[in-house]
């Protein structure tokens, strides 16, 4: 007989909720025949297994009297074991409550976690010894939390930051290295503020697990795109209390003037394939939480499973998770990994998918910054520009076109111009703003900016996959030497190329995204898929960034110009119905004679020059943007301004190293970018 008295309790809220006389537990499991609440002591010894006494609409619930906040617990589930029907209930497996807010430890893969063997029979080994215990806590937001930072859409700039990699080698107190609190250390904040950016995009902070194959190779999942719970912050980034320290990090970033969005993974979980870990969702309701067809898992994510975001329980779980991270943990928005999975119905993508609509109708979530990675590897998995207009979208067409232009590829002018002006082939006028396009050149996957100008091929042997992993077409160049060099001429060429990349990014219409560490010339030694490198390959090196001040100043200067001249981020055109009540700006494309581009100019395959004149509606600003990528010098005459009788005067607002201004010309020699006010 149980030492605890229980009552039916309540179905809401899901997860543990603290009451004056005990703790209420509510857990979703449609198909289980019985759930058990397993209580553990501080030594993780199982004390009791209490059967849930009530079930309503698929939710098991009860109030356990006498329990106190902080109680350690797990769930066990009984039910049919019929793998061919996606039913793998196995009471020998201890399960993490999907709504748990904290865990005792980090989850580490162990063979005893499997519910089913490779031969398809039940695996009877108890898994409690290798599964972290849930902590029954109910975190609240601090009453004295700093106010949110309101960022204007046209000023927003994203900076992608990995908590551990950003701080592991920073000159801060040892206990803060690699931790949430290290992100808000004085040197870290000073560095971030020096860049003049608005928004920190944190790489995944949901608690995650290293995959079985990496565990067997003695490698770690470093990026964190392998979650096991959608509410619990990653404990390895904490010194003591992950919940409190994550909240402190967000509050510190707010106080420093930053908006903060969190990279979230709702498309799959760390349970992977059916015969691997059974530690939460699989053991509670495998057939409902994961997508399957004809008795087989669907794997549109490439990670072993695919979370069924068309299932009502999953939709509720994800929206509850998002509200928790906003209301309680303090984030200002989300970047969604493999977002097409979130927009799938039974199997196909739809912009009207219930999860996407649930997010956009929510009075809290709809007001946050929402950034979508608009693809997965399933059928019709490439959906750039097809998400509802409430979502910003990562634009890989921008990345590839800009890289090809600066790589010197022929026939790129029309494509490059399209990307500069907001990728209107994807984000159509009258329907979406150019700001919906999240422009980037580097991301966590792929080459860093330093490697983009230092390597022509990937060098991923450290991943122990025989250099087969990672993208093979990097559109990169090394300027004569593969990898590191001390040749001053090559270093100068590489620096100039990095400045041209950054200037292009920050002078393009849309929302710019920067990869943290590019301003430090961080190299991953040519590794373009460093997801499993938790070491010097990925940790930012703050001591050898000889060019860092130049790159930091470049970013800061260009960010300031974007804020001073909003037309650089979003131009209001007469034929764009989104801006029909606003005075119209003007865009004029110019050739190397500063004349309007002709049909022939647009279709000259060996042209490596484009310029445009942006004119504000009130004529207060005329901005001449120049992009040139040839070795031979060129003198560009100032464009004529038909409404001005006086001689045109020019002020250079930004110039890359190969640009010079004379009385009547701008001279470019080699790869060049300039922004001139006329």
> Which pLDDT value is given to residue 641?
77
Q: What is the pLDDT of residues 133-163, one digit of tens each?
A: 999 999 999 888 999 999 999 999 999 999 9
| pLDDT the model gives residue 211 | 96
Of 493, 525, 419, the residue nearest 669 (C-alpha): 493
What tokens does 651 get? 């002020």
Smallest Cα–Cα separation from 29: which of 53, 55, 8, 48?
A: 55
| pLDDT score at 569 | 98
> In CATH, what number does 6-136 get?
2.60.40.10
Label residue 426 by pLDDT band (50, 70, 90).
very high
Domain span(s) for CATH 3.20.20.80 in the chain = 158-568
Classify residue 74 as left (phi > 0), alpha (psi -120 to 50) or beta. beta
Q: Supply the residues annotated as catalytic.
A: 337, 373
Average pLDDT for residues 425-450, to the nearest whole number? 97
- Residue 605 confidence (pLDDT) above 60: yes
Which segments of the chain belong to CATH 2.60.40.1180? Answer: 586-677
**Tell me: the pLDDT tens digits for 302-323?**
999 999 999 999 999 999 999 9
User: By percentage, how much of the chain surpasses pLDDT 90?
Assistant: 95
Instruction: Note whether 242 and 102 are within 8 A (CB).
Output: yes
Q: Measuring CA to CA, which residue among 270, 265, 271, 350 is closest to residue 310?
A: 350
How do residues 68-102 score in pLDDT, each as one tens digit? 999 999 999 999 999 999 999 999 999 999 999 99
CATH classification number, 586-677, choose in 3.40.309.10, 2.40.50.140, 2.60.40.1180, 2.60.40.10: 2.60.40.1180
Q: How confident is the model at residue 643 (pLDDT cuts 50, 70, 90)?
A: low
Which CATH superfamily does the domain covering 158-568 fall into? Answer: Glycosidases (3.20.20.80)
Model pLDDT, residue 649: 85
**What is the arithmetic mean of pLDDT over 403-420?**
97
Tell which wins on pLDDT, 648 or 401: 401
The reported pTM is: 0.97
DSSP H helices, 27-136, are none
Helix or strand run (H / E) with residue 334: strand 333-336
**Spatial contact of 203 and 263, defined as CB atoms under 8 Å apart:** yes
Outline which parts of the chain fall under CATH 2.60.40.10: 6-136
Which pair of structure tokens corresponds to residue 383?
């959906």
Angle at the Cα of 178 from the Cα atoms of 173 and 184, rounded to 5 degrees: 65
442, 515 in Cβ contact below 8 A?
A: yes
331: which 2 tokens? Answer: 């984030």
**Reduced DSSP (H G I as helix, E B as strand, rest coil) percent helix, strand, coil of the chain, to 5:** 25, 20, 50
**From CA 616, how far away is CA 622, in angstroms rounded?**
7
- List, for residues 565-587, the tens digit of each pLDDT value: 999 999 999 999 999 889 999 99
608 touches 407 (CB < 8 A): no
Per-residue confidence at 644, pLDDT binned at 50, 70, 90?
low
> Taking 70 as the threshold, does the pLDDT of residue 1 lie above it?
no
Nearest-angstrom CA–CA distance, 406 and 628: 9
Order of strands, edge to edge, in the sheet holding 46-51? 46-51, 34-40, 72-78, 134-135
């Amino acid at each position: 007989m149980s030492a605890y008295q229980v009552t039916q309790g309540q179905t809401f809220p899901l997860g543990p909720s603290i009451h004056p006389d005990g703790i209420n537990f509510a857990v979703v499991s449609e198909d289980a025949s019985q759930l058990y609440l397993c209580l553990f002591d501080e030594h993780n010894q199982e004390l009791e297994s209490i059967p849930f006494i009530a079930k309503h609409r698929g939710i098991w619930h009860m109030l356990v009297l006498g329990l106190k906040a902080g109680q350690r617990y797990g769930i066990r589930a009984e039910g049919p074991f019929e793998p061919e029907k996606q039913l793998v209930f196995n009471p020998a497996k201890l399960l993490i409550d999907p709504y748990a807010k904290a865990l005792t430890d980090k989850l580490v893969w162990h063979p005893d976690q499997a519910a089913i063997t490779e031969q398809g029979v039940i695996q009877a080994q108890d898994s409690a010894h290798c599964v972290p215990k849930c902590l029954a806590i109910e975190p609240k937001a601090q009453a004295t939390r700093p106010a949110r930072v309101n960022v204007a859409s046209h000023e927003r700039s994203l900076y992608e930051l990995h908590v551990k990699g950003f701080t592991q080698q920073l000159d801060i107190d040892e206990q803060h290295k690699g931790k949430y609190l290290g992100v808000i250390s004085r040197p870290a904040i000073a560095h971030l503020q020096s860049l003049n950016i608005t928004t920190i995009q944190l790489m995944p902070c949901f608690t995650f697990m290293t995959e079985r194959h990496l565990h067997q190779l003695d490698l770690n999942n470093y990026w964190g795109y392998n979650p096991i719970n959608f509410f619990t912050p990653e404990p390895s980034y904490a010194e003591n209390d992950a919940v409190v320290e994550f909240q402190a990090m967000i509050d510190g970033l707010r106080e420093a003037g930053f908006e903060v969005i969190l990279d979230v993974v709702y498309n799959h979980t760390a349970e992977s394939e059916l015969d691997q870990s059974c530690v939460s969702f699989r053991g509670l309701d495998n057939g409902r939480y994961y997508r399957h067809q004809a008795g087989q898992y669907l794997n549109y994510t490439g990670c072993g499973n695919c979370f069924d975001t068309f299932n009502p329980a999953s939709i509720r779980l994800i929206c509850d998770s998002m509200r928790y991270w906003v209301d309680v943990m303090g984030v200002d928005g989300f970047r969604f990994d493999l977002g097409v999975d979130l927009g799938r119905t039974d199997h196909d993508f739809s912009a009207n998918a219930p999860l996407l609509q649930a997010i956009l109708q929510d009075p809290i979530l709809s007001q946050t910054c929402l950034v979508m990675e608009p693809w997965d590897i399933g059928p019709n998995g490439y959906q750039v520009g097809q998400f509802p207009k409430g979502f910003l979208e990562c634009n890989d067409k921008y990345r590839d076109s800009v890289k090809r232009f600066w790589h010197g590829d022929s026939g790129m002018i029309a494509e490059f111009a399209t990307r500069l002006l907001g990728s209107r082939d994807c984000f159509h006028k009258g329907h979406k703003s150019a700001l919906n396009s999240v422009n980037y050149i580097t991301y966590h996957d792929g080459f860093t900016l330093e490697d983009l100008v230092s390597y022509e091929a990937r060098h991923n042997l450290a991943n122990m996959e025989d250099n087969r992993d990672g993208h093979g077409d990097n559109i990169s160049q090394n300027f004569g030497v593969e990898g590191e060099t001390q040749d001053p001429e090559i270093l100068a060429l590489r620096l100039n190329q990095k400045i041209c990349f950054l200037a292009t990014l920050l002078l393009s219409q849309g929302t710019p995204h920067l990869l943290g560490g590019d301003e430090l010339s961080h190299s991953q030694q040519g590794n373009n898929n460093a997801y499993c490198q938790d070491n010097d390959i990925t940790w930012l090196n703050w001591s050898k960034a000889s060019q860092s001040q130049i790159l930091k100043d470049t970013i800061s200067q260009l960010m300031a110009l974007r804020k001073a001249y909003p037309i650089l981020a979003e131009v209001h055109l007469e034929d764009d119905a989104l801006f029909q009540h606003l005075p119209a700006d003007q865009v004029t494309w110019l050739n190397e004679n500063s004349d309007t581009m002709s049909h022939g100019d647009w279709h000259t395959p060996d042209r490596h020059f484009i310029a445009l004149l942006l004119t504000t509606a009130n004529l207060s600003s005329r901005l001449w943007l120049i992009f040139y990528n040839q070795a031979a010098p060129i003198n560009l005459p100032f464009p004529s301004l038909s409404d001005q009788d006086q001689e045109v005067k020019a002020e250079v607002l930004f110039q890359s190293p190969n640009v010079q201004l004379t009385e009547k010309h701008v001279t470019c020699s080699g790869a060049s970018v300039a922004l001139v006010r006329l």
